[in-house]
Amino acid sequence: MTRAARYLAPLIVCLCIVAGAWADTVPARILIGTSEAPLAPSPVFDGAGVLAPVQIVSMLGASRVDAENGDMIVTAAGGQSATIKPVYVNGVRMIPVDKLVKLVGGEHSWNAAKRTLTLTSHLNSVEFDDGTLKINCSFPVRVTTSMWDGNIVVDVANTRLVSEAKEVFIGAPLVSKARLGQYDSSTARVVLELTRSTGYALETTGAVSQVRLKVADGLVPPPSVTAQPAKPSGKTFDIRGVRIQKVDERAFDVIISTSAQGSASSSLSVSPPEIRIDLPGGRIDGVGEIEGSHGLVNPVIEKTQTGAQLILRLGRPLIHKVEVSNTETIIYVRPPNKSGGTLADKVVMNDPGHGGKECGAQAGGISEKVINLQLAQQLAAALEKHGAHVIMTRSTDEQVGLSARPKMAIDASADFFISLHCNSNVKPDSVSGIETYYHQQLPSPKLLAHAIHDGVCKTTGMCDRKVRSDRILYQSGLGVLRGLANSDIPAILLECGYLNHSSDRAKLKESNYRAKVADGIVAGLRAYIEGTPIQ
């Protein structure tokens, strides 16, 4: 052995030992609740625990500061701090997830067969101060709210209740106490017992470590279901007055005082932005000037053949909910989810329907999946031109499951989800035009559908086949939209033309037509987000 060989041999052994330290690592997945953490590169399991890229720190609501010696000082949402030593895997700095969870709080469970680490948040405590409920969790969670038996119910997903207090006395004018419980194995529940009927609204959106819910008269949450129109009573009633009550700069209520309980139904439009409230049987002879004002509305009430109609001419598109009581009809008008700011601030999940073995509609020698991808690619370019961040559910001819598509939007914390399709029917060349679907009667998706539909119909000049609830197709709605029903991500499905109509098909195959569709979608999104009129 030469002198060089003698020196190299120990070095080679040393390098082999270092390399062998990671020889047993295998790729792993991390689920935060039921959603996979979008980490790159992938986490790994080293035989003792899961190591994840340092982005996992912010995903669990914590912050970090790098010390001079390479350690990380991590501070959880609750304020507690600790020093965690990172580990390098193939040159990538990673953090032991078990140590991070020990700091922030919560639970972690490892499924060796699936190589999956599931993280579950803890509901630590609740507070009620200045009319606001605060639910403190160990790391970010998502909630849904509802009214049940005159009380406010807040369900906290993927969370375990660890608070020792199961009942918290509040004694506020509107709230007597809060009850805490574990609704099911993965959902913690907080029930606010009210002293009387009132309103409420979430002050926080998306996934947060501290959920804040305001309780006050005149507030309503973004309604999960638009109120059903009251059935006509067949009787007349006097409309005694109309009052605009300001909630804040972006929200207001309209209170219609009546001599008896009447009936009301509503409709909306985006071009121009209006809400129309039909009041069959309503008499307006005694109505004077409309009281109050708000910068976003110009109200007009007028007679109709069947009674009266209140027209709310808006400064920008807004969602609404109608409630009818014995002597009042109240219209709650609110900004839609994810509105405000500019399109450049938003993340758009762009979903070309079908793909792979799922060809979709087929006619004239072309498959829907091909057109959908071309539409999505041109939409991505149009959105990026306006500064939006675009994520594709697929960028090639691959099969993506219906449930996987909305999950991708949730995992990416997308602001909007747009699914692109081509229509078809039984009889070729019999139907032409644009249809847009939203889920059930969710108000923000409904408004988004109207905005995008108006934009596409105007830019393409295609036949307007209306905005529709997906319930007309299936009682439970379209699967790709249903997956986002409990999120705060407005989602729509756009049918961009009929593939088995010769004229529509010729247009769908043209890049110029697809560009017009993309421009129409952008115009609709800007109307929804920014309040920009659709030209």
d(Cα 95, Cα 98) in Å, to the nearest integer?
9
As a three-state string, the secondary structure of 221-234 is CCCCCCCCCCCCCC
Query: Residue 220 has what pLDDT?
Result: 64
Between 65-69, 158-162, 415-419, the lowest mean confidence (pLDDT) is in 65-69
d(Cα 95, Cα 91) in Å, to the nearest integer?
13
Is residue 24 very low, low, confident or very high in pLDDT (cuts 50, 70, 90)?
low
Q: Do 237-334 and 343-530 agree at the fold level?
A: no
Residue 280: asked if its preceding bond is cis (omega within 30°), the reply is: no
- What's at 221, amino acid-wise? P
CATH node for 343-530: 3.40.630.40
* 1: Cβ contacts below 8 Å, ≥ 6 apart: 9
Q: Phi and psi (nearest 5°) for 461?
A: 75, 15
Q: Above 70 in pLDDT, residue 141? A: yes
d(Cα 264, Cα 190) in Å, to the nearest integer?
33
Q: Above 60 in pLDDT, residue 19? A: no
CA distances from 45 to 49, 259, 471, 484 (A): 6, 69, 44, 31
pLDDT tens digits, one per residue of 352-403: 999 999 999 999 999 999 999 999 999 999 999 999 999 999 999 999 999 9
What is the average pLDDT across 78-96? 90
What is the average pLDDT across 422-445? 92
CA 214 to chain CA centroid, Å, is: 20
Is residue 197 very low, low, confident or very high in pLDDT (cuts 50, 70, 90)?
confident
CA distances from 225 to 96, 114, 440 (A): 43, 38, 8
What is the residue extent of each domain of the chain? 23-118, 121-216, 237-334, 343-530
- Token pair 């953490």 in the structure block, residue: 37
Is residue 42 very low, low, confident or very high in pLDDT (cuts 50, 70, 90)?
confident
Query: Residue 67 has what pLDDT?
Result: 82
Query: Residue 231 has what pLDDT?
Result: 46
* Angle formed at CA 15 by CA 13 and CA 17, multiple of 5 degrees: 70
d(Cα 159, Cα 139) in Å, to the nearest integer?
10
pLDDT tens digits, one per residue of 211-269: 999 999 877 654 443 334 444 456 899 999 999 999 899 999 999 999 998 889 999 99
d(Cα 366, Cα 479) in Å, to the nearest integer?
25
* Angle formed at CA 424 by CA 403 and CA 511, multiple of 5 degrees: 90
Structural contact between residues 515 and 458, judged by C-beta atoms closer than 8 angstroms: no
Topology annotation, domain 121-216:
Immunoglobulin-like (2.60.40)
The CATH architecture to which 237-334 belongs is Sandwich (2.60)
According to DSSP, the β-strands at 307-314 and 297-303 are antiparallel
Question: Any bridge partners for residue 396, and if so which?
Answer: none
* 22: Cβ contacts below 8 Å, ≥ 6 apart: 44, 46, 89, 90
According to DSSP, the β-strands at 416-423 and 347-352 are parallel
Is residue 310 very low, low, confident or very high in pLDDT (cuts 50, 70, 90)?
very high
Residue-wise burial string across 424-460, b where 16 or more C-beta atoms lie within 10 A, e elsewhere: beeeeeebbbbbbbbbbebbbbbbbbbbbbbbbbbbb
Rg (CA), the chain: 27
d(Cα 252, Cα 245) in Å, to the nearest integer?
6
Residue 41: asked if its preceding bond is cis (omega within 30°), the reply is: yes
* 8: Cβ contacts below 8 Å, ≥ 6 apart: none
* 158: Cβ contacts below 8 Å, ≥ 6 apart: 32, 33, 34, 120, 121, 141, 142, 186, 187
